[in-house]
Amino acid sequence: MTLSVQVRHRLGDFHLDAGFEAEGGVTALFGRSGSGKTSLVRAIAGLIRPDEGRIALDGDVLVDSKRGVFVPKHLRRFGTVFQEARLFPHLTVKGNLTYGRWFAPRDAVPERFDRVVNLLGIGHLLERRPANLSGGERQRVAIGRALLSAPRLLLMDEPLAALDDERKAEILPYLERLRDETNVPIVYVSHAVHEVAQLADRVVVLRDGKVEAIGPVSDVLSGPSLPTAANRREAGSVLAGVVEAFDPPHRLATVRLKSNMIHVPNATVEAGKIVRLHIPARDVMLATSRPEGLSALNILEGTIEAITADDEGMITVRIGCGGDIVHARVTALSGERLALRPGKTVFAIIKTVALDLH
Amino acid sequence: MDWLALSEEEVTAIRLSLLVSTVAVAASLPFGILVALALSRGRFFGKSILNGIVHLPLILPPVVTGFLLLILFGRKGPIGAFLDQYFGIVFSFRWTGAALACAVMGFPLLVRSIRLSLDAVDRKLEDAAGTLGANPAWVFLTVTLPLILPGVIAGMILSFAKSMGEFGATITFVSNIPGETQTLSAAIYTFTQVPGGDLGAMRLTIVAIAISMAALLASEFMAHLIGKRVNFE
């Protein structure tokens, strides 16, 4: 599956001029509010008609301003999950979930109802009305409703933005299961680094209506190309690995990366599971000799590959540790004192590491 | 209690009024929804003129509306002659004419009520239905219509009540023929014009009050039922 998007659109003073290509998996459209990510996803969904551009999915052209092609939203079969759940208040949860089924083409293979209901944990809500659901429950139903309409592509426009942190934490695992257990490609709009780090395979960074960076999540989230200072403070490395062992008394999981072992605290996982680690760059310290007598569990030896400075007096150091890339964000002053430069051998001391089930 | 017993003439007037009002509401409903849609959603030249024309019967003296109907829909009127010739529909001095007069008089109330509830519908829900594969017609039938149903029913009941009480336009357009165009209001008026007719007028007045109350209660009940069903997010 290849989604190719090239859109030029004007909304008052705002100019959107962005394009990207997405393969399967989760593609995140990332940027601060006003960067045009929502307009872009609305253009893909068919909710706005771009002034100029071309949108195609696997050669099926949905928009082509040159040829005057504009496929209306109901014929695109792009399931959309909005920031607000937008459930139909006059239907039960079950009625909402099955709504799209009536309009799906006969040859489409829809997700099985029971499977989606189980995946999202909404089996006990089926007879209820949307008004009687919590925000998190509503959003899960909205995701299920989109999924059950047999979509060719799932568009998610900041589905967690309207929820508090607890509700976000409640839904994120379902989104991960969705990514791993269904074959529907997802375009995920977000302004939160940790959501993108946890869910996305590829990231498209938007700024002022233009694409600033495109690439695999581990490259883009490493820092320098992130659009805001706040984002850069959250920047970090995303690493995939396999759980080697789990030590219940210490609640400590050992994850094998390409050539390193990482210990992850407070994570209950079975051995053999593929996981994704998110290591915030600000939580990585650097030492030029192997430190001793330190409480940190994870100390990786590696070689500096690149150093990028930003306008806040900070530098992002990219360290290759036998194939595993770790990023450290330290002050420029420390960089000078330690005489950091590409090619130098350093030890990365990882203070915290977050584990996401993959 | 003999004085309570309705005469045959009175029963005829009541039945005619119910028939005329029901037909008026039923026949004007599809047009009412279409016009409300155009006024609420449409962007076209002459929208305020359409709005004015729809609301005209509310402000014009009913006699003027009745006279205009007579000119337009009478046997020799441009629309009346056309309908008679091609469809065999005759309005003048028939109960159908009374229904037309009532429909026209109740139309502003019907349209207004539907339009207000259309304005209140969250268009985002319609967008969501569209992305789920529903074409505009299905979106209207499965999302918009259920959401505006309370407004539609309120409009129907207002229009029905207006029809039951309609007098001026009806009597001007189709006169006051017992058994054909003599509705409840016209019958009460007739009773008050003859000596000793007070008792008959009183009986019909009681009936009019009973029907109005029943309509009002029915609307409250419907609103209650729908309110239970439709809980806005």
Q: Is A74 in Cβ contact with B130 (below 8 Å)?
A: yes
Does residue A227 carry a pLDDT above 70?
no
Q: Supply the CATH classification number for the domain A237-357.
A: 2.40.50.100
Whether residue A77 and residue B147 make contact (CB cut-off 8 A), yes or no, is no
Cβ-based contacts under 8 A for chains A and B: 83
Q: Quick one: average pLDDT of A46-63?
A: 91
pLDDT of A34 reads 82
- The 10s digit of each residue's pLDDT in A143-164 is 999 989 889 899 999 988 888 8
CA distance A112 to chain B (A): 16
What pLDDT is attached to residue B233?
A: 35
Q: Which one has a higher pLDDT value, B132 or A197?
A: B132
% of chain B surpassing 70 pLDDT: 95
The CATH H-level superfamily of A3-220 is P-loop containing nucleotide triphosphate hydrolases (3.40.50.300)
Closest alpha carbon within chain B to A98: B132
- How many domains does the structure of chain B reveal? 1
Gap between the Cα atoms of B94 and B90, Å rounded: 7
Question: In chain A, which segments carry CATH 2.40.50.100?
Answer: 237-357
Q: Which chain B positions have a beta carbon within 8 Å of A127's beta carbon? A: none
> What is the DSSP pairing of strand A186-190 with strand A153-157?
parallel
Question: What amino acid occupies position A124?
Answer: H
pLDDT of residue A64: 92
Chain B residues touching residue A145 (CB < 8 angstroms): 132
Which of B131, B138, B145, B233 to probe the A interface (max A CBs under 10 A)?
Answer: B131
CA-to-CA separations, B187 to A106, A312, B9, B96, in angstroms, rounded:
60, 89, 9, 17
- Look over chain B and give the mean of its residue pLDDT values, rounded to a whole number: 89
Which residues in A lie closer than 8 A to residue B229 (C-beta atoms)?
A: 90
Q: How many CB atoms lie within 10 A of CB A202?
A: 19
Q: Give the per-residue pLDDT at B231.
A: 46
pLDDT tens per residue, range B183-208:
999 999 999 998 888 888 999 999 99
Q: Where in chain A is the domain with CATH 3.40.50.300?
A: 3-220
Residue B71 pLDDT: 92
CATH of the domain at B220: 1.10.3720.10
A296 pLDDT more than 70: yes
pLDDT for A232: 67
At B28 the pLDDT is: 95
Probe site for chain B from A47, A71, A73, A78 (most B CB atoms < 10 A): A73
Helix, strand or coil, per DSSP, at residue A351: coil
Q: Which of A172-186, A306-320, B56-70 has the highest mean pLDDT?
A: B56-70
Judging by DSSP bridges, how do beta strands A324-331 and A314-321 pair with one another?
antiparallel
Question: Does B132 lie at the interface with A, CB-CB under 8 angstroms?
Answer: yes
Structural domain including B40 reads 2-229
CB contact under 8 A, A149 and B146: no
Please name which of A276, A255, A264 lies closest in space to residue A357, comparing C-alpha atoms: A276
| Portion 135-174 of B in contact with A at CB < 8 A | 135-136, 138-139, 142-143, 146-147
pLDDT tens-place string over residues B116-144: 999 999 999 999 999 999 999 999 999 99
Tokens for B206? 């009681």
Q: How confident is the model at residue B230 (pLDDT cuts 50, 70, 90)?
A: low
Q: What is the mean pLDDT of residues A23-27?
A: 88
ipTM, interface predicted TM-score of the complex: 0.80
d(C-alpha A152, C-alpha A144), whole Å: 14
Q: Which amino acid is at A220?
A: V
State the pLDDT confidence band at A12, using cuts at 50, 70 and 90.
confident
Alpha helices in B42-94 (DSSP H): 47-59, 62-73, 78-87
Band of pLDDT at residue B89, cut at 50, 70 and 90: confident
